[in-house]
């Protein structure tokens, strides 16, 4: 018999509370997208901006400038973007209207003169379109180009701001923020040559997912859970971000990064911080960031003892995904035939502070796994004394809270109930809250949210440099030990594509996926 489910729907919309600045007027501005001919611009940025435009959520006026090495006209740029959105079946009814805000400027990333020409172009457009000199520079380019482009933006005077915030300039960088602690610091040094910290927006689109934002609301706006959110009541916490896809066409990047650099320095650590952090005194970006950094500082180093006691690495072999045969990682195009790059990692972490002492956190991520899921599992401890043991035995399932992020955005709580009838039987029941119950349009795209926040000047969903450095400081010794390990091949456990990962990981992984 399946577990009964109690579904909670939002039946009291009149009681909804909204932030006081929810209707904040947005300043006119220009968004310059470097790498405008690339995949990120076509698949994510322009569709997000177009959807915001259709819903009248962008400032007026707004100018969007595509900048890339490719030579093309403004019309050719617009046509290319329109063609790229066709497979996504996006409603293009207002596309021609949106294109009135769309421009293109060819830029040679290695040429300072090219950025001077861009600066003149921006000045002319500011005057023509009355965008008041407010600018966002979005680096949708390979990370190796971040230092060069940021430096040229500064040399061209484009990072300069007016007094009292009357004219602002901001730069957006995508992860990865370096590939270890040293390169992260080097990148930050280059960015800070021209931009102040408050001008820099280090984007992690995971943070803009609606369920992830709701973690803090769930914990700190509801009194019934936070008193139990500690070592006295919680047995363990599991955080998993599993993917069915392989590396696609990113072999060059993935061979250098692997799963630890690709997922654990950024997405996984942010989910960990939101789950484990203390309550900030106010819901403001700086104070939330402060509490996150405290979590990162409290992480117990894995390299103090036997690293592979708390770290399980794997690499996918050939297998079946959705009834289709897929190759092993080493047989993917562009991958070294003897590659020792991990595509799966399970890390057991401990946070050395009063709240979480001795509570294990299991962080799991991998490619070519059975399902694409992202969730946080909070496993509570079993009841300390069962008065039912003489009739039901000692084994009564403990309460379990699941915060689902993908594919279903929901929050579920499992607890024990009596089965109807004369016999005394316990059965787990589940209370579900789903975001779909809030109605259509309740969950905006992650890129829509971060773009709006950048226009508003809100850093809540972005990385701060001290957090970047602390996570790299934790991860870099692990990477160095793995990469210098003589027996790394022996620690790299194969797993068939379409499975849940290496067999050696099942003792920790099974409770998280079940």
Query: Residue 23 pLDDT more than 60?
Result: no
Complete DSSP assignment for 57-91: -S-SSEEEEEEESS---HHHHHHHHHHHHGGGT--
Distance of alpha carbon 195 from alpha carbon 61, whole angstroms: 25
Q: What average pLDDT does the segment 14-19 reach?
A: 51
Cβ atoms of 505 and 314 closer than 8 Å: yes
> How far is the first Cα of the chain from the last one, in angstroms, to the nearest whole number?
16
Domain residue spans of the chain: 29-167, 207-513
Distance of alpha carbon 99 from alpha carbon 327, whole angstroms: 42
Give the length of the chain.
514
Is residue 221 left, alpha or beta, with left meaning phi > 0 and alpha meaning psi from -120 to 50?
alpha
Sign of CA pseudo-dihedral 304, 306, 308, 310: negative
Q: Which of 249, 267, 408, 459 is catalytic?
A: 267
Q: What is the pLDDT of residue 422?
A: 61
- Triad 312, 233, 411: Cα angle to 5°: 75
Residue 247 phi, psi dihedral angles, 5° rounding: -90, 0
Cβ atoms of 166 and 172 closer than 8 Å: no
Please tell me the number of Cα atoms within 13 Å of 280 on its side-chain side: 19
Residue 496 phi, psi dihedral angles, 5° rounding: -70, 135
**Helix, strand or coil, per DSSP, at residue 3:** coil
Q: What is the pLDDT of residue 1?
A: 46
- Look at domain 207-513 and name its CATH class: alpha beta
Instruction: Identify the residue with better confidence: 444 or 206.
Output: 206
pLDDT tens digits, 372-389:
999 999 999 987 766 666
Q: What is the pLDDT of residue 21?
A: 44
Domain topology for 29-167: Rossmann fold (3.40.50)
Q: What average pLDDT does the segment 469-494 reach?
A: 88
**Helix, strand or coil, per DSSP, at residue 11:** coil
The pLDDT > 70 percentage for the chain reads 90
Distance of alpha carbon 271 from alpha carbon 206, whole angstroms: 9
What number of H helices and E strands is found in the chain?
16, 19
Q: Name 86's Cβ contacts closer than 8 Å, sequence gap at least 6.
A: none
pLDDT band at 5 (very low <50, low <70, confident <90, very high): low
**Distances from the Cα of 443 to the Cαs of 48, 92, 437, 476, 477, in angstroms?**
13, 20, 11, 35, 38
Distance of alpha carbon 69 from alpha carbon 62, whole angstroms: 23
**Helix, strand or coil, per DSSP, at residue 458:** coil
pLDDT tens digits, 134-161:
999 999 998 889 999 999 999 999 999 8
Q: What is the pLDDT of residue 389?
A: 60
Query: Residue 190 pLDDT more than 70?
Result: yes
Least confident of 89-93, 247-251, 267-271: 89-93
Nearest Cα residue to 205 out of 455, 451, 490:
451
Q: Residue 272, exposed/middle/buried by CB under 10 A (0-12, 13-18, 19+)? A: buried
**Helix, strand or coil, per DSSP, at residue 418:** strand
Pairing of strands 102-106, 62-68: parallel
Query: Residue 18 pLDDT more than 80?
Result: no
Q: What is the pLDDT of residue 4?
A: 61
Instruction: Identify the residue with better confidence: 86 or 311.
Output: 311
Strands (E), 268-343: 311-317, 319-321, 324-326
Distance of alpha carbon 303 from alpha carbon 311, whole angstroms: 10
Residue 307 phi, psi dihedral angles, 5° rounding: -55, -45
Pairing of strands 426-434, 5-8: parallel
Inter-axis angle of helices 181-194 and 146-155, to 10 degrees?
A: 20
**Cis, bond preceding 61 (omega within 30 deg of 0):** yes
Q: Name 186's Cβ contacts closer than 8 Å, sequence gap at least 6.
A: 147, 178
**Distances from the Cα of 323 to the Cαs of 22, 319, 370, 498, in angstroms?**
46, 9, 11, 9
Query: Residue 17 pLDDT more than 60?
Result: no
Cβ atoms of 217 and 226 closer than 8 Å: no
Average model confidence (pLDDT) for the chain? Answer: 88
The verdict on whether 267 is a catalytic residue reads yes
**Helix, strand or coil, per DSSP, at residue 352:** coil
pLDDT tens digits, 286-330:
999 999 999 999 999 987 668 899 999 999 999 999 999 999 999
pLDDT tens digits, 388-405:
665 555 567 788 999 998
Give the range with max mean pLDDT: 14-18, 171-175, 203-207: 171-175
pLDDT band at 166 (very low <50, low <70, confident <90, very high): confident
pLDDT tens digits, 208-248:
777 777 888 889 989 999 999 999 999 999 999 999 999 88
Q: What average pLDDT does the segment 345-364 reach?
A: 97
**Helix, strand or coil, per DSSP, at residue 500:** coil
Q: What is the pLDDT of residue 77?
A: 93
pLDDT tens digits, 408-443:
888 999 887 777 766 666 777 888 888 777 665 545
Q: Name 437's Cβ contacts closer than 8 Å, sequence gap at least 6.
A: 7, 8, 9, 10
């Amino acid at each position: 018999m399946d577990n009964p489910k109690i579904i909670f729907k939002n039946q009291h919309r009149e009681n909804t509370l909204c932030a006081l600045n929810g209707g904040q007027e947005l300043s006119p501005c220009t968004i310059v997208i470097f790498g405008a001919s690339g995949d990120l611009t076509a698949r994510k940025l322009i569709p997000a901006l177009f959807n915001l435009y259709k819903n009248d959520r962008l400032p007026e006026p707004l100018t969007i400038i595509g900048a890339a090495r490719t030579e093309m006209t403004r019309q050719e740029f617009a046509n290319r973007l329109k063609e790229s959105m066709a497979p996504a079946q996006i409603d293009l009814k207002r596309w021609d209207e949106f294109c009135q805000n769309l421009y293109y400027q060819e830029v040679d990333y290695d040429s300072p003169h090219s950025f001077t020409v861009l600066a003149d172009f921006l000045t002319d457009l500011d005057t023509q379109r009355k965008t008041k000199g407010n600018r966002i520079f979005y680096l949708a380019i390979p990370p190796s180009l971040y230092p060069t482009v940021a430096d040229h933006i500064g040399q061209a005077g484009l990072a300069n701001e007016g007094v009292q915030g009357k004219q602002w300039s901001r730069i957006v960088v995508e992860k990865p923020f370096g590939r270890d602690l040293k390169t992260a610091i080097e990148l930050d040094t280059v960015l800070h040559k021209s931009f102040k910290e408050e001008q820099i927006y280090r984007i992690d689109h995971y943070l803009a997912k609606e369920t992830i934002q709701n973690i803090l609301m769930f914990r700190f706006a509801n009194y019934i859970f936070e008193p139990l959110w500690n070592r006295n009541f919680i047995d363990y916490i599991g955080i998993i971000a599993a993917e069915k896809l392989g590396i696609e066409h990113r072999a060059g990047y993935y061979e250098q990064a692997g799963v630890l650099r690709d997922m654990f320095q950024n997405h996984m650590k942010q989910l960990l911080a939101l789950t484990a952090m203390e309550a900030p005194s106010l819901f403001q970006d700086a104070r939330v960031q402060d509490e996150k950094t405290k979590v990162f500082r409290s992480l117990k180093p894995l390299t103090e003892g036997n690293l592979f006691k708390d770290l399980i690495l794997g690499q996918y072999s050939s297998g079946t995904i959705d009834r289709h045969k897929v190759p092993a990682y080493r047989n993917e195009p562009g991958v070294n035939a003897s590659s020792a790059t991990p595509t799966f990692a399970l890390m057991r972490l401990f946070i050395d502070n009063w709240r979480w002492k001795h509570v294990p956190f299991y962080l799991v991520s991998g490619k070519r796994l059975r399902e694409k899921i992202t969730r946080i599992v909070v496993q509570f401890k079993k009841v300390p004394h069962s008065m039912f043991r003489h009739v039901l035995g000692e084994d009564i399932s403990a309460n379990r809270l699941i915060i689902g992020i993908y594919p279903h955005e929901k929050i579920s709580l499992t607890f024990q109930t009596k089965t109807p009838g004369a016999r005394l039987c316990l059965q787990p029941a589940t209370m579900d809250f789903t975001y779909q119950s809030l109605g259509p349009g309740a969950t905006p795209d992650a890129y829509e949210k971060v773009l709006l926040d950048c226009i508003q000047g809100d850093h809540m969903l972005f990385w701060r440099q001290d957090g970047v450095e602390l996570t790299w400081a934790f991860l870099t010794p692990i990477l160095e030990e793995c990469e210098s390990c003589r027996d790394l091949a022996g620690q790299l456990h194969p797993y068939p594509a379409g499975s849940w990962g290496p067999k050696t990981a099942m003792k920790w992984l099974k409770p998280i996926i079940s």
